[in-house]
Amino acid sequence: MTDWNLLLLVSTFAASVALLSFMFSLRTQQYKTTSYLTHLLGRQYGFVRTKFVVRYVIGEDGSAQVSYNEAFVATNEELLGIEHWTRVSTDPTLTRDFRLEIKSGAKQKTEIIPRPTLVTPTKLFYQLLFSPPLQPRESVEYSYYIYGPPGMFLLSPQQVQARGLPFDYVSMEIAYPTNRLEMEFVFPPNIYVERLEQDVWLGDGRLRLKKEYNRLEKEGAKRLERQGETLVARLTVDYPILGLKYAITWTPVQRSQEH
């Protein structure tokens, strides 16, 4: 074998090793991404929620109209339905119950049947059943509304303190493999807010998960804008992590106190 052929053989071998190393590196990095984690969990659960859009519009009495738009695709199992819950910190002044209303105008063969399992002034647990059940590779998209009672959200620092909270907030727990979470929060025009922040919590004690929090900071997940006299806060998260709570927190300040 000539020196030239030997050099060519060595160069080819080195290039092949480099290519394999690069492909292995890409594969290894894929395993570390939140998108791959969501894909893997989707195979285990048998479905993936492809989008989850939630919009809170807060009334001047602290009530809330919450609109939901979500879509699911069954991966490898039949999907009978899903379950949700929402709740407010315990407050004896709340007297009117939550209300659930399906308002999906989409023309599709799947009917969405609401089934509340617990309804009180501070808690709403409910199922959304699919009729007929979703079959593998089938998808469904629908919308619905939840109406929260007056006092669901707080309008002054005194109310926050009386409820024993460090701030007021809205949080969404990720109960299913989800590709994208979008939260929008529309404040009433008579309320200013201070220290409006995004957060990610592990469990019910509002304990921050620093690594995921840093990801949101890096990706610029939070957006604020003014629409006339109204403040709108948005939080957008691609591939949120199962079991974590994604939150927007703030301290309300009544406009009359700003003078």
pLDDT value at residue 259: 39
Domain contains 16: no
The answer to whether the CB of 116 falls within 8 A of the CB of 125 is: yes
Using a 10 angstrom Cβ sphere, with 0-12 exposed, 13-18 middle and 19 or more buried, the burial of residue 3 is exposed
Domain contains 46: yes
pLDDT value at residue 207: 92
Q: Residue 42 belongs to what domain range?
A: 33-258
Domain contains 13: no
Domain contains 6: no
Give me the half-sphere count of Cα atoms (radius 13 Å) on the Cβ side of residue 133.
12
pLDDT value at residue 2: 56
What is the torsion angle, in degrees rounded to the nearest 10, for the CA atoms of residue 166, residue 167, residue 168 and residue 173?
Answer: -70
Supply the CATH number for residue 198's domain.
2.60.40
pLDDT value at residue 94: 53
Domain contains 224: yes
As beta bridge partners, residue 124 has 86, 119
pLDDT value at residue 101: 73
Domain contains 3: no
Instruction: Write out the DSSP string of 26-44.
Output: HHHHHHTSHHHHHHHHHHH
Q: How many domains does the chain have?
A: 1
- pLDDT tens, per residue, the chain with 259 residues: 555 454 444 445 444 444 444 344 434 444 457 788 888 888 899 999 999 999 999 998 888 888 999 999 999 999 999 998 887 655 555 555 567 776 654 556 888 888 888 887 778 888 999 999 999 999 999 888 888 888 888 888 888 888 888 899 999 999 999 999 999 999 988 778 889 999 999 988 889 999 999 999 999 999 999 888 889 999 999 999 999 999 999 998 866 544 3
Domain contains 5: no
Domain contains 240: yes
